[in-house]
Chains A and B, each alone.
Chain A
Amino acid sequence: SSELTQDPAVSVALGQTVRITCQGDSLRSYYASWYQQKPGQAPVLVIYGKNNRPSGIPDRFSGSSSGNTASLTITGAQAEDEADYYCNSRDSSGTVVFGGGTKLTVL
């Protein structure tokens, strides 16, 4: 089982704002990174560090953290944002771990 916990599914109306969360004790010490994965494709990094976006990632994606919870926020969700989202960081032993993933549906 993952030491990073995500809600299995979240939905958002087109154009609205959605927050996807990732909980884990290690997040008190380490930043989470966030990935978007569409069916049949490799994951794509969308947020890393405190709140950094790789080149080419729209600025509607943002990240934040408080206590043991990291959040990915999509402001003005688009149809193409419908995907699975995964967080990753380190676990209590210091090795890399992924959250269980959140399926985002854009209504």
Chain B
Amino acid sequence: QVQLVQSGAEVKKPGASVKVSCKVSGYTLTELSMHWVRQAPGKGLEWMGGFDPEDGETIYAQKFQGRVTMTEDTSTDTAYMELSSLRSEDTAVYYCATRVYCGGDCFDYWGQGTLVTVSS
């Protein structure tokens, strides 16, 4: 059974960076394509980016290009999402998500979410 366990809540000041982790168990990270999705308070889901196995590279949503970096540490099966130049609009719950059994652009396993609050 796949489990994705994320790091704890963060409070950051505008202009700072945040790095959220997502620890995988039940599978190795190399077997998965990890994606990141965020949800601002009272708003919908927003895809930020993820690994595309067809291209063998990480693809970022245009909105976040230049500000987001997604990395992986295969020795610890941990994925990371770092978002820089934070602003108040980045206050959101950040989820890692992946697909194990479903096919296509679906995500059947999600982390529990990490609340990032950006406030001066």
Q: Per a CB cutoff under 8 Å, which of B61, B97, B102, B104 touches A54?
A: B102
Cβ B45 vs Cβ A98 within 8 A: yes
Q: List 9 A-B contacts (CB under 8 A).
A: A2-B44, A43-B37, A45-B102, A54-B101, A86-B44, A90-B105, A93-B62, A95-B47, A100-B44
- Answer yes or no: A88 CB below 8 A from chain B CBs: yes
- Answer yes or no: A69 CB below 8 A from chain B CBs: no
Q: Per a CB cutoff under 8 Å, which of A43, A52, A95 touches B45?
A: A43
**Given pairs A42-B110, A49-B106, 16 additional interface contacts (CB within 8 A):** A33-B105, A42-B112, A45-B106, A45-B107, A45-B108, A48-B103, A48-B104, A49-B103, A49-B104, A86-B44, A88-B47, A89-B105, A90-B105, A93-B62, A98-B46, A99-B44
Cβ A52 vs Cβ B102 within 8 A: yes
